[in-house]
Chain A
């Protein structure tokens, strides 16, 4: 049974639901992901970021980066090629969003939430090869357009 699982593709969809794990951060959940990864995504950002008060300057930079790189597929306030990102910071942690931007294929293959979205939208999100700093600025832009943004 274990062997069979080991041989199957890593992109195989997990048949378990995503209940919040009770275990510690480092322990693997049933998806093979850590609690950290479930919450914050899989990718180059491996420590949770805690943005604090809104940085307007950074948000303005983020807006420009978003408009130059992301608007082919994302519109604020409506579903387009990809999801509506107006309230994304209410649904996802800043770290998760950064990992989604920086590692879109890894996320849709391995993360159950991102994988579900790929099922729904059918279009693999493009990797625009932003830097971490640029991705962080895009998160700040998302926070600036979402009045209910959490600071976690």
Chain B
């Protein structure tokens, strides 16, 4: 109670500081001077003008990724990833539903966590976004030419994918590490059906390296590394001097399996796990470890047809720590560390201490020196005969940031010699000098900040102008919307010594992290429509003359076209109760931003949107006889209301022949 009171007092005093800052900036805004712009001027993007950056934010429990313009905070789009989206039919339509297949069956929802852009030479290249589902272990690849999910790969031998999906500096690999360890199948483990209290003996985490095809972006499980059953929380690949390494924080080095709130917070220090992924890759290439049989689904959209196919895969190579001598180390870190990040040169590795009040900052050169000196303080048993050496905290530590606030969670860098950390409990962002960890500035946030993101962050050259705080608690910042509130983000100008709060903006879901990419890397290469001549969907109808309705037993295929503002055919008879009616609608427009929709009375799965030049297919199972109207759901023209049609459904035993057409007598 006393602690809570203290926090409350702290919050109140911080709020009064914030009010003072607000009044101050309010005065300066009236001057309207260049170099001392008002917050409003700095975030104002005039009508018809574009933002400088795209911000991609994971939606958390919404299972998608939403896209915002920065600095305006405008919501531009939401990309469906792990969740079905009635918006356009993603995950409902016949050609997209395979995207949500897993070894657990069809999983139409997810918990997106960590958005990571693809990189070339340590810089964002604007090609893809990788994002993980924490609940059902899988990683998705979003194509930034179409803003669509093109691929999802399931990760076997793991659960609770939190330390995922991080990208190496040339997009060689995306890594996915386990939060919730599970027993592993034989012959690697003792089998999956074991008592929970055999946790220490039987449960294991795995670190998965997903190989990314440089040209196509296609994903493939490269190999896995067996790890002790700690909870791996976040990770980052190194940059520059440390680019061959990847680093993960972990908590629960106690290896508790119940009441973790208490039992996983016993030790003063947990760990940062450092893996030389280059050496691990070499070990896998040399055939070390073992190939085990498991099952995982791999879903890929065929660019020619637009159809998602699922491959069920079975083999994965698992390396043990004993295969990675000299390439896998633990570094102590206080206490249940959460976020981790690597500075732009790759020299510093910094974590949010979470249950400690400091941000420990390790030095990569010191780590390498400690490894050379072979100066360890014991080891952790892992694998059948492996041990992971533990380096000494004092040997690897560059400094601790003192006064990092209460509950420091995440660290970012601006490329101008500063680090920043969020503090969840004391609700603030703290700025410090990267050379010595001396705190330079702190600014309250509203409220309880999780991730922070610097524009262009986690690259060799962050853009550095803006920092966005992703707040977990919204409370009174906006007009209330009942018990549930969208998460509130706050954007700061970090170009000066003092951080300046510019903008509050609410966002969909609960973003766990975000990435800002220069608009110029993305906006020039956009697909605006699909060329009809390149549409190789097997159900395409390229011109109205080819529209048709074909019956094969109980299956009826309707090959339909849509153009402003009619469907062909728009009158169909001869459908019977019990039929599976597949509507394959091709939008034969060839113009940007002229989608057509398709909605049918009694459609139990979803309507759909069809982009120009594209074919999409949706299944309708009419339940009762009658005449059913269908229509276009996208306001496509002044005659959009008129874009409608009828399907006659007759009893199962009727003799009504299939007839169809538009603007003609049906025969």
Q: Which residues of B contact A129 (CB under 8 A)?
A: 529, 590-591
Report B572-613 residues with CB < 8 Å from chain A CB.
588-591, 594
B564 contacts the other chain (Cβ, under 8 Å)?
yes
Q: Which residues of B contact A71 (CB under 8 A)?
A: 543-545
Q: Which residues of B contact A126 (CB under 8 A)?
A: 563-564, 589-591, 594
CB-CB nearest in chain B for A69: B543
Report B307-345 residues with CB < 8 Å from chain A CB.
none
* A123 touching B594, Cβ below 8 Å: no
* B590 touching A123, Cβ below 8 Å: no
A76 contacts the other chain (Cβ, under 8 Å)?
no
In the bound complex, what is the Cα–Cα distance between A69 and B543 (angstroms)? 7
Q: Which residues of A contact B564 (CB under 8 A)?
A: 73, 81, 123-124, 126
Report A112-134 residues with CB < 8 Å from chain B CB.
122-124, 126-129
Interface of A is mostly: loop
Q: Known contacts A68-B542, A71-B544, A71-B545: does B589 contact A123 (CB below 8 Å)?
A: no
Q: Which residues of A contact B637 (CB under 8 A)?
A: 122-124
B568 contacts the other chain (Cβ, under 8 Å)?
yes
Partner of B563, one of A67, A72, A122: A72
Q: Which residues of B contact A72 (CB under 8 A)?
A: 543-544, 561, 563, 566, 568, 588
CB-CB nearest in chain A for B546: A68
Report B115-143 residues with CB < 8 Å from chain A CB.
none
In the bound complex, what is the Cα–Cα distance between A81 and B663 (angstroms)? 11
B76 contacts the other chain (Cβ, under 8 Å)?
no
In the bound complex, what is the Cα–Cα distance between A67 and B543 (angstroms)? 8
Q: A68-96: contact bitstring with B at CB < 8 Å (1 yes, 0 no)?
A: 11011100000011000000000000000
CB-CB nearest in chain A for B562: A72
B639 contacts the other chain (Cβ, under 8 Å)?
yes
B565 contacts the other chain (Cβ, under 8 Å)?
yes
In the bound complex, what is the Cα–Cα distance between A122 and B643 (angstroms)? 13
* A68 touching B543, Cβ below 8 Å: yes
In the bound complex, what is the Cα–Cα distance between A126 and B593 (angstroms)? 12
Q: Which residues of A contact B529 (CB under 8 A)?
A: 129
B34 contacts the other chain (Cβ, under 8 Å)?
no
Q: Which residues of A contact B565 (CB under 8 A)?
A: 81, 123
In the bound complex, what is the Cα–Cα distance between A123 and B564 (angstroms)? 7
B638 contacts the other chain (Cβ, under 8 Å)?
yes
CB-CB nearest in chain B for A125: B564
CB-CB nearest in chain A for B529: A129
In the bound complex, what is the Cα–Cα distance between A71 and B547 (angstroms)? 13
Q: Which residues of B contact A124 (CB under 8 A)?
A: 564, 637-638
- 14 additional contacts, CB 8 Å, given A72-B563, A122-B639, A124-B637? A71-B543, A72-B544, A72-B568, A73-B563, A80-B663, A81-B566, A122-B638, A123-B565, A123-B637, A123-B638, A124-B564, A126-B590, A127-B591, A128-B589
What are 8 of the A-B contact pairs (CB < 8 Å)? A68-B543, A71-B545, A81-B639, A124-B564, A126-B563, A126-B564, A126-B589, A126-B590
Give the 3 A-B CB pairs with smallest separation, nearest first. Answer: A129-B590, A127-B591, A72-B563
